[in-house]
Amino acid sequence: MLSLNILLIIYLAVVLLFLIFTFFNLYHMWRFGVLEETNFIMIFLYIASLLVLAFFSVLYILKIDWSGFLF
Amino acid sequence: MAEKFYCMPYTTLFPGQEPNEKIIMVLRRHWWILFRIIFLYVVLALFMPVLRWLANEYTNLFDGGTLTVILNLITSLYYFYIITFFFHAWIDYYLDIWIITSERIVDIEQRGLFSRHISTQRLYRIQDVYSEVQGFLPTFFHFGDVHVQTAGQNPRFVFKQIPNSYEVTKKIIALVRWKKQKMMKQGINFDHTENE
Mind telling me how many Å the CA of A53 is from chain B's nearest CA? 7
Mind telling me how many Å the CA of A67 is from chain B's nearest CA? 12
| Beta pairing, strands B104-110 & B143-150 | unpaired
- Give CA–CA dist A43/A40, Å, rounded: 5
Nearest to B84 among A4, A25, A65 (CB): A25
Chain-centre distance for alpha carbon B62: 43
Q: Which residues of chain B have pLDDT under 50?
A: 1-2, 5-12, 194-196
- Spatial contact of B149 and B127, defined as CB atoms under 8 Å apart: yes
Which residues does B contribute to its contact with A (CB < 8 Å)?
A: 10, 12-14, 26, 66-67, 69-70, 72-73, 76-77, 79-81, 83-84, 87-88, 90-91, 94-95, 97, 108, 110, 113-114, 116
Tens-place pLDDT, residues B131-180: 999 999 999 999 999 999 887 666 788 899 999 999 999 999 999 998 88
* pLDDT confidence of residue B119: 85
User: CB distance A50–B83 less than 8 Å?
Assistant: yes
- Spatial contact of B190 and B180, defined as CB atoms under 8 Å apart: yes
Tens-place pLDDT, residues A24-42: 888 888 777 766 678 888 8
- Give CA–CA dist B93/B103, Å, rounded: 25
- Give CA–CA dist A30/A46, Å, rounded: 13
Q: Where are the domains of chain B?
A: 2-8+21-29+96-186, 34-92
Mind telling me how many Å the CA of B173 is from chain A's nearest CA? 26
Residue B25: beta bridge partners? B100
> Under CATH, which number does the domain B2-8+21-29+96-186 receive?
2.30.29
Tens-place pLDDT, residues A34-70: 666 788 888 899 999 999 999 988 888 888 877 877 6
pTM of the model: 0.79
User: CB distance B13–A22 less than 8 Å?
Assistant: no
